[in-house]
Chain A
Amino acid sequence: QSVLTQPPSASGTPGQRVTISCSGSSSNIGSNYVYWYQQLPGTAPKLLVYRSNERPSGVPDRFSGSKSGTSASLAISGLRSEDEANYYCAAWDDSLSGPIFGGGTTLTVL
């Protein structure tokens, strides 16, 4: 059971906006940055969002991150078939003294 809680699945149709949530506590999301990683089927994870709401160069602005209190969200607008992937949130946990991941959300584009 992960310290960061994500819904196991999410779905949307092409062009739609989808949001994936990540719930934590005061020792992780509440006091530290949140990161999001995208893992396409059969590939390594890729950094999608860092420091809660910043995008690495090359990541489309369709992807955006936000954080409020002990929760964070990843929003994907203009959904495309190539967005089908597993998405993981991550954060530093002060109590565990290490980085932690959410359990992952499988996004399906219908």
Chain B
Amino acid sequence: QVQLVESGGGVVQPGGSLRLSCAASGFTFSRYGIHWVRQAPGKGLEWVAVISYDGSTKYYADSVKGRFTISRDNSKNTLYLQMNSLRAEDTAVYYCAKDAGVAHIYYYFDYWGQGTLVTVSS
């Protein structure tokens, strides 16, 4: 069965950095785009970034552009999110989510991980 397991969350000071990981299993990781979606405490969902199946294409939400970098290692079936210049408003549970399209990004998410909490606070 499809499994996505995030890790790397924690408490970081404003202006600091953090790298999240998402380990995938149960499907051919190298054939699918993968997204990061976040949810601030008690709030709704916000799309953050996507990377294509081969890592050649990356798109970001305006709120994180220039600060966050999405990447993947298909040999390790793992997705990453490097977060720099963190702000209080980046505090959220970060989910990795599999795109439903094969070798094409459809921008909807058919499987989600359980999420990892990032808290930006001094």
Q: Which residues of A contact B (CB under 8 A)?
A: 2, 33, 35, 37, 43-47, 50, 56, 88, 90, 92, 96-104
Contact = CB atoms under 8 A, between A and B. Distances in A.
Contact of A88 (B44, B61, B62, B110): B44
Contacts of A97: 59
Contact of B112 (A33, A44, A92, A100): A44
B100 interface: yes
Contacts of A45: 37, 45, 95, 109, 112
Interface of B: 37, 44-47, 59, 61-62, 95, 100, 107-115
Contact of B45 (A92, A98, A101): A101
Q: Interface on chain B toward A: helix, strand, loop, or mixed SS?
A: strand
Given A44-B95, A50-B100, A92-B107, A101 B46 contact: yes
Contact of A98 (B61, B95, B109, B115): B61
Contacts, number: 49
Contacts of B109: 37, 45, 47
A90 B108 contact: yes
A104 B107 contact: no
B59 to A, nearest CB: 7
A90 B100 CA distance: 14
Contacts of B45: 37, 45, 88, 90, 101, 104
Contacts of A96: 62
B108 A47 contact: yes
A92 B46 CA distance: 12
A104 B107 CA distance: 18
B113 A44 contact: yes
Contacts of A33: 108
Contacts of A43: 114
Contacts of A90: 45, 108
Contacts of A100: 47
Nearest to A35: B108
A18 B41 CA distance: 27
A45 to B, nearest CB: 6
